[in-house]
């Protein structure tokens, strides 16, 4: 049942004329349109007709087509809701639909004509490239072709327009002639739309339609997507609280192949607006909800739009004369760089020989190393709105998150607890860093804590009491680092389990050499873990760490154990020594590939330092290559903090201005407990006894923090030589001060 029907009187008249025609010329509809049915009564006739969808029409066969001697033409539907199928129109129907579309265009731009209108959909007979092929070289050729064409209007999909804009922006191309880009076929958000307009220096115009019926709604000069209500009537089914419902369409033009009460699967909201002075007499404004947005295959040098899968299926069905009974519906899931799962709803005449054809055609189009598997189900992939999906990229199954709106990359979303109210009297820090031990099973030449190499560690009974105190506190996050290697510490897994079960976010910085089954289970309860992998090859790892080359393999194996046992919550990253001797682009790319193969989430670029004060400023390499590094990481689905390498974050350590208050101390944002048991309010001053609040061997955590207010009055921290204005810790204070929840891609200071 429809909750609402939108149409006008012209549509009523056209619909009655169509019904009269179908009653005489269409075998299927004639049984619903009888002499007893008052054909001049729109509501009566309309209510007597059945609802149909694509699969239903396929099942009817030739009976669904009207008897007509006039010339017909056909085209394939997009396949966004299943298998593409042929939809037919009379030449006269195409002319009517085309005239209405051009009337909409000329209301926006009276100078647009078929001569200066360029459609970038499908393949062009006079060009070797395919407009849907988004490989970089092909897009460059397309952009040159656009400029050479001197077109005033472009017609294309939002996905293609956006990728074209990305490449054009990189090349700093100018488009003098383009005035409008007509976007059709899928949803587009405002952010992408603005970017396209900026790059092309032109306005965008939206249309909503389907291959079956062509344009259903067109954007007016004032930005309202208006229903062409002379040609269509629209129902909305199952309207939700926000006013959105499924679009059910009836075309008054298509009589050879009717589309009456046609269930599109699209989700939209319709409102009435008669106040717009655009001159459009159609009062119904449509607001679409995302439901047809295209995806792209990722992990390949050439970015290929998901339209290739329609082509693969169509090519595979060609030997069977495109028999729609072979496959009812399909979708594709990308599970790895070269792994694809075809979800297929088999039809009555489906045969296993089609599998071989799909595999062969997939390898021809995407790559010869591609692995194809099949999953036969009653239904295919659907999005959150219930719309069937053609394609989804999900390297890790359901737990994969989209990195951003463009590339479908992984990005676990973390937030800084800056929204928590903080006062000078705040008792507990937001995050507490603990060095459980100074012992280490590595001997890194660059280690900032090499002066602490001794056997000192927090006594077990003291550590257990500390964990209990933290579990009963308002501390939000704990990270275990050092000092030494935290995973060496006995029973650390028990502490992690306790803290995690208490609702505290736990993070670990480790070299990854020592992970047993107990620790593996505990890690799975953490929020994040960072491995000091450092280098892409064992020999260089040996040079950096002073440990056997085989340790590199051990760490990689342990990382695999963690990532294969990963939950949705755990964020896994690896440190890369970004200014080690011989650093170059190939080295960075090799590390990115290694990290991608290990299924990590992020690379944390870390600078090699000889001490806390001085750093190597030779970063011309990253100034020149950081964009390439970020892009290559994106292609491999890896998040990086590479942009930090050329920011103030990695400038020299600065002296804090005199009398400038330290927000870290004042607001009690961070705490540190070292292996000696000393409690410090700042990581950089753990060696300064004057900043020590107390010792957990002597007092409980609560007792130490209760004395904090008195101790801090005696501490002068306005000229700290170790504190940088642009350190992550200062950024944490800055974020907190803003009162906003902000993003930061350093998991060390981000919490679920």
For residue range 328-379, what is the model confidence (pLDDT) as tens digits?
888 898 877 778 889 998 888 888 899 999 999 998 888 887 889 898 877 7
User: Which of left, alpha, beta for 243 (phi over 0: left; psi -120 to 50: alpha)?
Assistant: left
Q: Distances from the Cα of 341 to the Cαs of 285, 334, 366, 419, in angstroms? A: 39, 6, 14, 42
481: closest CA among 427, 421, 543, 526?
526
Nearest to 334 by CA among 315, 361, 314, 362: 362
Neighbour order of strands in the sheet with 694-695: 639-640, 602-606, 571-577, 528-534, 505-510, 477-480, 431-434, 670-673, 678-680, 694-695
Q: Which residues of the chain have pLDDT under 70?
A: 1-4, 34-42, 78-84, 122-129, 290-296, 298-305, 307, 324, 383-387, 395-425, 448-453, 566-569, 579-582, 607-619, 644-663, 683-690, 713-752
Distances from the Cα of 203 to the Cα of 110, 154, 206, 226, 484, angstroms: 15, 11, 10, 18, 59
User: 3-class DSSP state for residue 739?
Assistant: coil
**Based on the number of CB atoms within 10 Å of its own CB, is 582 exposed (0-12), middle (13-18) or buried (19 or more)?**
exposed
The answer to whether 206 and 188 are in contact (CB under 8 A) is: yes
Which tokens hold the place of 85? 């199928």
279: left (phi over 0), alpha (psi -120 to 50) or beta: left
| pLDDT for the residue 655 | 44
Instruction: Could you list the beta-strand ranges (E) of 318-445.
Output: 327-336, 339-346, 371-376, 391-393, 431-434
Report how far residue 324's alpha carbon sits from residue 55's, in angstroms, rounded to the nearest whole number: 9
Paired with 510 in beta bridges are 531
Q: Give the Cα separation of 518 and 321 in Å (integer).
A: 59
pLDDT at 216: 94
For residue range 84-120, what is the model confidence (pLDDT) as tens digits? 677 899 999 999 999 999 999 999 999 999 999 999 8
pLDDT the model gives residue 641: 77
Q: What is the Cα–Cα distance from 295 to 303, expressed in whole angstroms?
A: 10
Helix extents (H) in 475-602: 492-501, 517-523, 538-545, 550-564, 585-597
How high is the pLDDT of residue 10?
Answer: 83
| H-run or E-run covering 4 | strand 4-6
- Strand 339-346 relative to strand 505-510, pairing: unpaired
pLDDT the model gives residue 11: 84
Describe the crossing of helices 158-171 and 136-149 by its angle, rounded to 10 degrees: 90
Number of helices and strands in the chain (H, E)? 21, 27
Q: Which two tokens stand for residue 294?
A: 């295209």
Angle (CA) 207 208 214, round 5°:
100
Quick one: pLDDT at residue 279?
75
CA 563 – CA 303 distance, rounded (Å): 26
Distance CA 688, CA 676 (A): 13
Q: Measure Cα distances from 521 to 25, 441, 507, 557 in Å.
A: 70, 22, 14, 16
Q: Which pLDDT does position 397 carry in this prediction?
A: 38
Model pTM score: 0.49
């Amino acid at each position: 049942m429809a909750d609402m029907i939108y149409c006008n009187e012209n549509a009523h008249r056209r619909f009655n004329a169509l019904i009269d025609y179908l009653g005489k010329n269409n075998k299927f509809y004639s049984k619903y349109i009888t002499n007893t049915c008052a054909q001049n009564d729109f509501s009566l006739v309309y209510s007597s007709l059945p609802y149909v969808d694509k699969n239903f029409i396929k099942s009817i066969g030739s009976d669904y087509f009207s008897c007509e001697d006039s010339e017909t033409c056909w085209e394939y539907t997009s396949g966004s809701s299943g298998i593409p199928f042929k939809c037919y129109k009379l030449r006269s129907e195409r002319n009517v639909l085309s005239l209405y579309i051009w009337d909409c265009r000329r209301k926006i731009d009276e100078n647009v004509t078929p001569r200066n209108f360029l459609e970038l959909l499908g393949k062009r007979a006079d060009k070797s490239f395919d407009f849907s092929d988004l490989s970089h070289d092909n897009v460059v050729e397309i952009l040159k072709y656009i400029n050479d064409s001197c077109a005033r209007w472009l017609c294309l999909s939002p996905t293609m327009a956006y990728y074209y804009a990305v490449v054009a922006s990189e090349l700093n191309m100018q488009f003098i002639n383009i005035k409008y880009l007509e976007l059709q076929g899928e949803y587009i958000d405002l952010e992408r739309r603005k970017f396209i307009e900026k790059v092309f220096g032109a306005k965008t115009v939206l249309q909503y339609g389907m291959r079956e019926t062509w344009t259903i709604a067109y954007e007016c000069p004032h930005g309202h997507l208006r229903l062409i209500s002379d040609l269509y009537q629209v129902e909305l089914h199952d309207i939700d609280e926000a006013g959105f419902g499924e679009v059910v369409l009836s075309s008054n033009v298509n009589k050879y192949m009717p589309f009456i009460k046609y269930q599109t699967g699209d989700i939209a909201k319709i409102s009435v607006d008669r106040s717009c002075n655009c001159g459009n007499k159609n009062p119904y404004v449509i607001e679409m909800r995302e439901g047809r947005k295209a995806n792209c295959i990722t992990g390949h040098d050439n970015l290929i739009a998901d339209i290739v899968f329609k082509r693969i299926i169509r090519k595979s069905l060609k030997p069977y004369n495109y028999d729609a009974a072979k496959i009812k519906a399909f979708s594709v899931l990308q599970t790895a760089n070269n792994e694809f799962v075809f979800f297929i709803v088999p039809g009555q005449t489906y045969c296993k020989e089609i599998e071989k054809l799909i595999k062969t055609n997939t390898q021809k189009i995407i790559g010869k190393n591609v692995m194809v598997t099949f999953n036969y189900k009653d239904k295919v992939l659907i999005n959150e709105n219930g719309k069937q999906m053609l394609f989804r990229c999900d390297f890790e199954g359901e737990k994969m998150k989209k990195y951003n709106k463009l590339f479908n990359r992984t990005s676990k979303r973390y937030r800084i607890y800056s929204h928590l109210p903080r006062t000078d009297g705040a008792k507990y820090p937001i995050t507490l860093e603990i060095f459980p031990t100074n012992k280490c099973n590595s001997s890194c030449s660059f280690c900032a804590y090499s002066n602490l190499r001794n056997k000192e560690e927090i006594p077990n009974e003291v550590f257990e009491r500390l964990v209990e105190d933290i579990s009963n506190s308002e501390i939000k996050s704990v990270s275990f680092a050092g000092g030494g290697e935290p995973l060496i510490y006995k029973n650390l897994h028990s502490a992690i389990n306790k803290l995690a079960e208490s609702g505290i976010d736990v993070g670990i910085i480790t070299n990854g050499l020592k992970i047993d089954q107990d620790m593996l289970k505990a890690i799975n309860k953490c929020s994040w873990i960072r491995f000091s992998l450092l280098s892409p090859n064992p020999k260089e790892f040996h040079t950096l760490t002073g440990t056997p080359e085989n340790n590199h393999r051990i760490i990689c194996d342990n990382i695999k154990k963690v990532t294969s046992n990963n939950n949705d919550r755990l964020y896994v990253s690896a440190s890369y020594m970004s200014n080690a001797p011989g650093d170059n682009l190939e080295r960075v790319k090799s590390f990115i590939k290694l990290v991608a193969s290990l299924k990590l989430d992020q690379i944390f670029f870390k600078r090699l330092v000889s001490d806390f004060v001085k750093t190597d400023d030779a970063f011309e390499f990253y100034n020149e290559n950081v964009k390439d590094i970020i892009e290559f990481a994106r292609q491999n689905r890896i998040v990086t903090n590479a942009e930090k390498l050329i920011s103030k974050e990695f400038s020299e350590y600065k002296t804090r201005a005199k009398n400038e208050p330290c927000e870290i101390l004042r607001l009690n944002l961070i705490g540190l407990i070292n292996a000696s048991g000393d409690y410090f309010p700042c990581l950089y001053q753990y060696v300064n006894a004057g900043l020590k609040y107390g010792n957990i061997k002597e007092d409980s955590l609560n007792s130490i923090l209760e004395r904090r207010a008195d101790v801090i009055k005696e501490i002068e921290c306005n000229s700290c030589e170790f504190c940088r204005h642009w350190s992550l810790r200062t950024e944490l204070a800055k974020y907190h001060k803003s009162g906003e929840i902000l993003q930061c891609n350093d998991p060390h200071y981000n919490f679920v």
